[in-house]
Amino acid sequence: MDGASRGQGELCLTGDPEEAIPPPNEKKMPKLKTHTGAKKRFSKTGTGKIKRHQTKTRHILTSKSPKVKRKLGKTLMVSDGDYKKVARMIPYA
């Protein structure tokens, strides 16, 4: 039996033609949109934690000590208080 004999023009890999056509009243959840500013600033680790970079590293670096600049160059994890808010902004990361 080929796909054209079903009348809908849809291919069904399992052989059951009723599986290829979803029920008409089935509602799908809307897709979540990623916050474009957040996806540039945060990333997830393999364990699900969220990494972030530190602030105050872009300019006025001459007045900062080398020790401070070294520490500001490292990445940190998002704090527990901000985790839910940030995780909602990057649902598919």
pTM recorded for the entire structure: 0.66
Q: Are 21 and 8 in contact (CB under 8 A)?
A: yes
76-77: strand order across its sheet: 42-44, 50-52, 76-77
> Which pLDDT belongs to residue 61?
96
Q: What is the pLDDT of residues 35-77, one digit of tens each?
A: 999 999 999 999 999 999 999 999 999 999 999 999 999 999 9
> Which pLDDT belongs to residue 7?
54
Residues whose CB falls within 8 Å of the CB of residue 5, separated by 6 or more in sequence, listed in order: none
All structural domains of the chain, each given as residue ranges with its CATH number in brackets, are 3-89 (4.10.410.60)
pLDDT at 13 over 90: no
